[in-house]
């Protein structure tokens, strides 16, 4: 015979289940990018602050000394969404899509 569960125990179990659900959601592969999201413009104030450009080939390595030829959003750890899409989400610009050929000064190599 099982013992009755107190309201406190039930709430604890519910909280644990909710936490587990969040952990599972966070571990799923990236979903397709929402193509309806706006494309980040280099003139956007946040983009300007992070020195984002939608064409990494135009980055001046003398001005941005951390830039190395070949770096672009497509090879950045912060880029989200599936490969093959020209515009994808970036962790640094929530609610917008960045050009996979773009670059900003927070580029981080994929490990």
Footprint on this chain of ligand SF4 (rule: CB under 6 A): 52, 73, 76, 78-79, 90, 92, 98, 102-104, 106-107
CB nearer to ligand SF4: pick between 18 and 35: 35
CB of 74 to ligand SF4, least distance (A): 8
Kindly report the number of other CB atoms within 10 A of residue 92's CB atom: 18
Q: Which is nearer to ligand SF4, 6 or 54 (CB)?
A: 54
- How many angstroms separate the first and last alpha carbons of the chain? 53
- Which helix (H) or strand (E) covers residue 8, if one does? helix 7-27
The CB-of-6 to ligand SF4 minimum distance in angstroms stands at 48
Taking a C-beta distance cutoff of 8 angstroms, is the pair 89, 36 a contact? no
Neighbour tally for 105: CB within 10 Å:
13
Of 25 and 101, nearer to ligand SF4 (C-beta) is 101
Block residue for tokens 């587990």: 20
In the complex, minimum distance from the CB of residue 33 to ligand SF4, in angstroms, rounded to a whole number: 12
């Amino acid at each position: 015979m099982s013992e009755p569960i107190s309201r406190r125990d039930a709430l604890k179990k519910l909280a644990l289940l909710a936490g587990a659900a969040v952990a599972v959601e966070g571990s799923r592969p990236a979903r397709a990018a929402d193509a309806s999201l706006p494309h980040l413009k280099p003139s956007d104030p946040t983009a300007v602050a992070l020195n984002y450009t939608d064409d990494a080939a135009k980055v001046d390595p003398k001005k941005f000394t951390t830039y190395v030829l070949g770096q672009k959003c497509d090879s950045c750890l912060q880029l989200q969404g599936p490969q093959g899409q020209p515009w994808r989400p970036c962790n640094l610009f929530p609610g917008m899509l960045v050009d996979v050929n773009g670059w900003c000064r927070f580029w981080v190599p994929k490990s």
